[in-house]
Each structure stands twice: as structure tokens, then as C-alpha cells.
Structure 1
Amino acid sequence: RYVMHNSLTWSEELGRYLFVWITFVGLPVALKAGAHVAIDLLLKKTKGRFHIAILTINAVATAILGIVIFYSGIRLVLLGVGQISSAMQLPMQYVYTIIPVSGLLLLFFTVTVYLEERAKALQGDK
């Protein structure tokens, strides 16, 4: 900016879009890694059917969130068709595409993590 006496008009927009993408990619990745903030005191104190019931309720709630993110993301992508970003002239549906992808990944990782945790809980009962 100071060397060429001209600032990059697209850099702020690119930073904003990358921040959105990183946030939506981080949601399912953090779930898979077990890095989400959680209150697991109840899970540590329970065993058996009650433990599995809590795991199931958590998985169902998270799966519903994944479905809502996917559905809302599809609607947003369709809304972005024909819109162009102001500085980069990028079609907005490309920016919004990460939202339904994130919802699907969240749903997939929710199922896999639930099945893994359920299997561990069932083995612990034996």
C-alpha cells in the first residue's frame, strides 16, 4: 500500500471469505477431533444404558444441527446464484458452497463418532 501508493481492494474481501471457510471447515473437524467445548461430567459419572442414552441424545441433536446447516446452506447457495462479490468479482455461490458441505461433514462425523463412542461404552459394560 505504501510502496505502490495503491491498496489492494480485494484483500479485505478475501480475508473475510477465508475466515468464513475456515470457520465452517473447523466445525466438523473439531467434532471429529473431540475438540469442541463439552460438559462431559455427566458422561464420566454414568454407565450402561443411561450413558448410551446421553450419547444418543447428543448425537441426534448434533445430527439435526448438521441437517439444518445443510438445508440452510443449500438455500443460501441458490440465493447466491447470479450474485457477484464487489471487489473480487467472485460468484457468491462459490463462497456459500462451504455451508452445505460443512453440514454434510458434520452429519457424517456425528454418526461415526457416535458409533465409536457407543462401541466403547458397550465394551466397557462387559
Structure 2
Amino acid sequence: MSIDIDALPQVMGDDGQFHAQDETVDLSGTTLEAWAATGIFWLLGATVFYQFFTRYALNNSASWTEEIARYLLIGLVFMGAAIGVAKNNHIHVDFFYRFMHPRLARTVSTVVDALRVLFCGAAVILTGLMMSKLGSNSRMSMVDLPMNVVYGVCMLGFAAMTWRSVQVALIHYRRGYSVLERVDSTMQDR
């Protein structure tokens, strides 16, 4: 098998200079959860850098950084999970859908969408109940803040997952199929 080098994209011009142009960056499709996750990620990075700097450069580690980094990582996970729900790319098994009758596959897929909405909605309610039981008595170890700040971020993540689950279920309903039924489709297909 031979490769035609002239058919490949050229990045070197006749003048011997490198000529490549980047595509324009379009952030218009970035969800609110993605912006929140980006902010939390940079706070986490700054916290870990501060921890590294105080430990190894100043030889006097800031004790609060480990706890705050842990809580920021929790927030990042919950915001990331909401992004995964919005993109509908969580782990799923589509093997059995290939062998199901199309009507049965559609029914099972609809049940999966409904269960996802119910699960995430129940998680919002349960997190709220837990937060009300804890009140302001439960505090963080090193930083004098209530633990409900952390649980509030978790509840916000579950609320975003619930909202995105409803949106995904509506898209599947309007299209008449889901990614489970047609593995080659994406959420952008309309």
C-alpha cells in the first residue's frame, strides 16, 4: 500500500515556512456545568499548587489545603457527572439492544431515561434531607465552615443531573430513539 504524499494536507509552504491555521474556538455550546467545573478545576489547581509551594518551598505546609482540595475534587466530580448526563455518555450496555425487537428496545430505553430522572431527582431530595438534619452543627475539620457547603455543591450537581436527564429524555422521545438503540448516534443528531 503506497501513500500519495501530495494528497496529504500541506503545512510547509513553497517558501519553506510552516503554514498552519487553527480553527476558530467556539465556546457557545459550553454548558453552565462545564463553566462551573472549569472554575472548580482552577481553584483546585491553585489550592494544590499552594500546598506544594508551602510544603516544599517554604517547608511549612498549609494544613487546610488538603481538606479544601478534597472538597473541591468532590465538587468537580459532581459537576463533571452533570456534564456526562448532558452529553449522554455515561457508561451503558447496548449489547442487548442489538438483539431486542425494536419496540422492546424503545420501551426499555424509555424506562432507562425515566429511571435516570427519578434517581437523580431522589438524590436531590435525599441530599436536601441530609443537609437539613445536619444543620450548621457539622463543621469541616480544618476550616471553620459548615459541611453543608460541600453537600450543597453535591445537591447542585444532582439538580443539574436531574435537569439534564429530563432534557435527554425529551430529546430521545422527540427523536423516537436513544443512543442505546442506535449506538452510532449522538446527542447532536436531530
Is 1:114 matched with 2:169? yes
Question: What is the DSSP-based 3-state SS (H/G/I as helix, E as strand, rest coil) of the residue aligned with 2:77?
Answer: helix
Q: What is the one-letter code of the residue matched to 1:81?
A: S
Sort the Cα spacing of 1:111 and 1:47 in 2 relative to 1 into closer, same or farther, 3 A. farther
Correspondence for 2:156 among 93, 101, 116: 101
| Structure 2 residue aligned with 1:83 | 138
Separation in structure 2 between the aligned mates of residue 31 and residue 61 of structure 1, nearest angstrom: 13
| Counterparts of 1:119 and 1:72, CA distance in 2 | 30
Aligned length: 122
Shift of 1:63: 1.5
What are the superposed Cα offsets for residues 57-97 of structure 1, whole Å, 9 maximum, x if unpaired? Answer: 10121122112211221023221523221212222111110
- Counterpart CA distance in 1 for 2:126 and 2:111 is 22
The root-mean-square deviation of aligned C-alpha atoms, in Å, is 2.0
Partner residue of 1:38 out of 64, 72, 92: 92
SS state at 2:142 partner: coil
TM-score by length of 1: 0.82
Task: Structure 2: state its 5+ residue gaps.
Answer: 1-54, 178-190
Task: Assess if the C-alpha contact under 8 Å between 1:51 and 1:121 holds in 2.
Answer: no
Which structure features the higher share of helix residues?
1
Which consecutive residues of structure 1, in runs of 5 or more, have no partner in the other structure?
Answer: none
Answer with 1 or 2: which has the greater Rg.
Answer: 2
User: In the TM superposition, what is the alpha-carbon distance from 1:110 to its structure 2 partner?
Assistant: 1.2
- Superposition map of 1:51-70 within 5 A: 51-70=105-124
Distance 2:115 2:165 in 1: 10
Distance 1:86 1:5 in 2: 22
Distance 1:120 1:41, change over 3 A: farther
Q: What TM-score do you get using the length of structure 2 for normalisation?
A: 0.57
Of the candidates 60, 79, 84, which is equivalent to residue 25 of structure 1? 79
